[in-house]
Chains A and B, each alone.
Chain A
Amino acid sequence: MDYETLVVERDGPVGWLVFNRPAAANAMDARMMHELEAAWLELDRDPGVRVIVNTGAGNAFQTGLDVAQLSRDPDALREQSRRTKRFELRFTAWHNDVSTPVIAAVNGVCAGGGLHFVADADIVIASATATFLDPHVSVGQASVYETIALAKKSPMEAILRMAFTGRHERVPAARAYELGIVSQVVDPPEQLRAEAQALGEKIARNPPDALAAVKRALRNALETA
C-alpha cells in the first residue's frame, strides 16, 4: 500500500509506524484512519517484524481526530460515527488484534484521541519534551475509550484529573514516568528514535511465540474487573 499519512518502514527486526501529518499535528483524518488499519496488519503479518514502534513526525505525537477535515467528508464522518458508537474502532494495535509487541515513542504533544495510542501500546517511552492532555471536556465532548483504557493501567486519580482539567492542564513526561504511564524519558529529545530502536532490538532478541503468548495472557487479564 502507498501511504500518504503514515510512514511505514523496517529497520532490522523493528517495524516503524510513523504518523506523518506534521502540519496538522498528526491529527487523524479519514485517510489516516484507513491507512492505520492497513499498516498495523501489514507490520503484524510480516515475519521479519518482531517489534513495532509507533511515533510521530514533527513536533506532535498524535492529537486525535481531525474534526475539521472529517466535517468536510460526510461519508467518512458517518462511518467513523458508526464505528465509534459500536466501539468498532480500527486505528490502534489493540483494535486490530496485533500480536507483535508495540512500543509507543511519544515525541511531543499527545492530546485527546492521541491517548488511544498510549493506552493501547504495550510499552511507552517519551521524549523529555512530550506532554499529555485530554481536552475533550473543554470542547463539550465526553472522554471515554482512551481514559478507560489508561485507567486500567495507571493510577486512576491521575487519569481522572487529566480528564476533568481538560485543556487547562498538561501532564509532563517526567510525571508520566513517575506514575508508570511511561517507562523511560529520553533526554535529549532527539535521541528518542534511537532509544526506541535500541529497546525494540532488545525485545526482538526474545522468541516471538513467547512474546505473543505473554501479550495475549496479560492483555486478557485486563478483561476482568
Chain B
Amino acid sequence: MTYPELETLRLERVGPVGWLFNNRPDQLNAMNSRMRDEFEVAWRALDADPEVRVIVHTGEGRAFQTGVDVTEIASDGEGMGRYRESVENFDFHFTAWHNEVWKPVITAVNGICAGGGFHWIADSDIVIAAADAQFFDPHVSIGQVVSIEAIGLMKRMPVEAVMRMAFVGRHERMSAARAYELGMVSEVVDPSDRLRAAAQELAEKIARNSPAAMAATKRALWGALELGLTDACRAGARELVSMWGHPDQEEGPRAFAEKREPRWQPLGDSNS
C-alpha cells in the first residue's frame, strides 16, 4: 500500500508495524494547521492498511510533540480563533482516539513532550519513553487553559501528578523515570537511541496476537472510560461475544497445540 506524501508527518511500514513520525523537527514538532489536518489523513491511511497490525507514533529530532504551533498562532492574525468551532464542538481528528483507530497504538516518546503533546499520550494505548524524555505542560504559563489532554490523562493515571503538571506549567519538568513510576509509561528505554528498536520489538510482539480480538478488546476498554463498572461490563459483553464463532477463536488454540504461529484473519471492514 502506498501512503500519501505529507509535509509535516511521515508514514512508513516495517513488517507488521505502521510508523507515524511527527516531522517538523526544527519546530520541535509543534502542530501547525497543516499538521493538524495531515494527522487525520495519516491515521486513516495506517488504519486502512491491512498489513499494519500495530501502529507506533514517535517524533523526529529532539522533541516528540510540543502542541499547537505558537509562532503560527502569533503571526498570522487568526490566532487560536481558527480552532474555536472545532474546540467548542470537541470535533478533533488528530489523535488515534479521535479517528476511532482500533488497532493497538504505541506512543514512543523520543524527547520533549509538552502541552498539546499530551493528547497523544492520553489517546494511545501503550506509551514507552526514551530515558531522556521530558514531560511538562506550559499552557497556564502562556495564559492558556489546559483541559482536554489533562482530562484524558487523569482517566488513566494518578490525578495528583496531572494537576501538578497543569498548575506548575513551564516551571517544572517530569522525567521519564517518574512517568514510569506513576504508570504513565510502561517502559523507559536506555540508552535513548534504542527507542525505535524497542518500540518495533514491542509492536512485533503485539502483532503476534489476533487483530480482531485486540480490536474488540480495545473497543471494550476505551468504552469503559465512558461508563461505570457494571455498565461497562454489560457494554463489553457485546465485544466479548463478537469473537465467538470467529475463525481466530479456533485458530488460536489449534496453533498453540501444534506449537506454531497462528494465522489470524485480517481485520474486516466492521473493525475499521
Contact = CB atoms under 8 A, between A and B. Distances in A.
B249 A141 contact: yes
The main secondary structure of chain B at its interface with chain A is helix
Contacts of B208: 138, 166, 168
B228 interface: yes
Contacts, number: 161
B80 interface: no
Nearest to A94: B229
B213 A141 contact: yes
Interface in B166-199: 181-186
Interface stretch (B11-19, B83-91, B151-159): B151-159
A143 B224 CA distance: 12
Contacts of A155: 156-158, 182-184
Contacts of A129: none
B213 A140 contact: yes
Interface residues of A, number: 42
B203 to A, nearest CB: 10
A152 interface: yes
Nearest to B179: A157
A178 interface: yes
Interface stretch (A18-26, A49-57, A82-90, A100-108): A82-90
Interface of A: 67, 81, 84-87, 136-145, 147-149, 151-152, 154-161, 163-166, 168-169, 178-180, 222-225
Interface of B: 104, 125-127, 155-158, 181-186, 202, 205-206, 208-210, 212-214, 216-218, 220-221, 224-234, 236-237, 239-244, 246-253, 256, 262, 264
24 contacts: A84-B240, A137-B209, A137-B214, A138-B208, A138-B252, A140-B246, A140-B252, A140-B253, A141-B210, A141-B252, A142-B239, A148-B220, A148-B236, A151-B225, A157-B156, A158-B183, A163-B214, A164-B104, A164-B125, A164-B126, A164-B214, A165-B202, A166-B208, A222-B228
